[in-house]
Structure 1
Amino acid sequence: MHLTDDTILVTGGGSGIGAGLATALHRAGNRVVIAGRRRDALDAVAREHPGMTCYAVDLADPASVRTFAAEVVDRHPDLNVLVNNAGIMPFEDLTDPRTDVIQAVCATNLVGPLLLTAELLPTLRAAPRAAIVNVTSALGFVPMARMPTYCATKAALHSYTQSLRSQLRRTSVRVIEIPPPRVYTRGEPEDADGLGVASFVDEALALMAAHPSDGEIVVAAARHLCDAASRGEYDEVYAAVNPDVERTTP
């Protein structure tokens, strides 16, 4: 991924990290396509950035993913970068579980990105240079108990990304993971554990530019969680992330 002169598809591009990435990549001289469920939000982002294209797609619907992928390839045959960013993160009480929420989170955060990747991989592999960028989460490394399905899907996407990188290592497709820390999307002040969208995007893209061969792009605020196990501090960090959860001894 050269960060300029690419044709890039960003899912979840109507708000938050997706809109921030799409905007920065568009300004850097890329042809950017954004996609998501909310057409009004996508249209608003695209209007602010002439030349940006948007499509509505429901990643939780396999038929919608197939139709969308075919349309994108037909209209943008030079597509060479896929950014899997779309996701939902509801709080859940597993003592009173809602199966509809579990299904929606798994379909949107995990199954949808995997299916979209599979549909677009032949096009990406045909490009002289290409990249798949999976936006996971630092909570995929140390989960927050109040968002169990979200954290599980992000951990699964982290694992899938490692396998995909291994299988594509001899192709033209780079596989990159970006696990964000807490990212404030509504103008909350930044703190030691979180960043605003612009700050996160700027740091992530700067790291990608400075370390073009890295498979994981981890901003400083995410390292506390992402490196907890390797530092031997998993239990302490888990307790800090989940202060209301009683610690039990196996």
Structure 2
Amino acid sequence: MDISGRTVLVVGGTSGIGRGLARRFAAAGSTVVVAGRDTGKVADLVGAGTVEAVPVDVTDPASVLRARDEVLAAHPDLDVVVTMSGVMLFEDLRDPAHFEAAQTTVAVNLLGTIRVLDAFTPHLLALGRGDIVTVTSGIAFLPFPLMPTYGASKAGVHAYTEALRAQLAGTGVRVTELVPPAVATAGQEKVNPAALPLDDYLDEALDLLTADPTPEEVVVQAARRLRWAERDGTYADLLRQRSQALATLPGR
């Protein structure tokens, strides 16, 4: 996948990996639009003249359609859509009050992804070319029991991505899935000291993403033990290890 000279929309790009990808696309010479709820977080990038920003709430259908119309009016040549809005919430499944967190997680991570894809896929099909990039997680393939709905939502995005790729075959629109490990953003370094530094992740991920041919999944080294745990026979042991974090829940 060529990341230079493209017109790129990064939905969920105001922080973390999304913001990092926006910076890397812009540095490669692409026109980049970042969409998110708090566009003030990318004011420095916008002020530097390398990135534009559009507000969007992926849980609100009207907001997504407004963002689509604004982006396509300004950039009818848009040919890359990256959708990565996400929340990571701890849940205690012994307490029914967790449902609110579960509902929020599904609304943002899974339904938000589908909503963005529905908004922009017709444009890319009409263009006859382009790239869609979805973002899941190693947790989609090996759960982290403290965040049960996060894992379920990302597994859903993975399955949806596979289906989307099959349905768009032959249209000129490619579909690629990023499968990050724990990356040191949004406080993850406090939860997981082994989280990969952001720039290290971006270096490795973009080396893979820009390969020819473009891979269907971008799985950096640190994510492979999660992605392939079931195949490698390590799933049960790794899940037991990851379940030890449940001891941090109240009353455990």
TM-score of the pair, normalised by structure 2: 0.91
Tell me the equivalent position of 1:238.
239
Q: Is the 8 A contact 2:183 2:189 kept in 1?
A: no
Q: Distance in 2 between matches of 1:88 and 1:245?
A: 19
Runs of 4+ more than 4 Å apart: 186-189
Distance 1:209 1:168, change over 3 A: same
Q: Alpha-carbon deviation of 1:128?
A: 4.4
Q: Is the 8 A contact 2:144 2:242 kept in 1?
A: yes
Tell me the equivalent position of 2:181.
181
Q: Is the 8 A contact 1:194 1:221 kept in 2?
A: no
Q: Which amino acid letter does the alignment assign opposite residue 63 of structure 2?
A: S
Q: Secondary structure at the match of 2:176?
A: strand
Tell me the equivalent position of 1:112.
112
Q: Is 1:57 the counterpart of 2:56 in the alignment? A: yes
Tell me the equivalent position of 1:159.
159
Q: Alpha-carbon deviation of 1:224?
A: 0.6
Q: Is the 8 A contact 1:130 1:172 kept in 2?
A: yes
Q: Alpha-carbon deviation of 1:85?
A: 1.2
User: Percent of pairs identical after alignment?
Assistant: 41
Tell me the equivalent position of 1:139.
139
Q: Deviations over 1:94-150 (max 9, x none)?
A: 222333322211111110110110111111112343011001100000011110111
In structure 1, the gaps of 5 or more residues are none
Q: Secondary structure at the match of 1:177?
A: strand
Q: Distance in 2 between matches of 1:95 and 1:188?
A: 27
Q: Alpha-carbon deviation of 1:239?
A: 1.4
Q: Distance in 2 between matches of 1:12 and 1:46?
A: 15
Tell me the equivalent position of 1:196.
197
Distance 1:192 1:82, change over 3 A: same
TM-score of the pair, normalised by structure 1: 0.91
Tell me the number of residue pairs that the alignment of Structure 1 and Structure 2 aligns: 244
Q: Which amino acid letter does the alignment assign opposite residue 74 of structure 2?
A: R
| RMSD (CA atoms) | 2.0
Q: Distance in 2 between matches of 1:226 and 1:81?
A: 25
Tell me the equivalent position of 2:206.
205
In structure 2, the gaps of 5 or more residues are 248-252
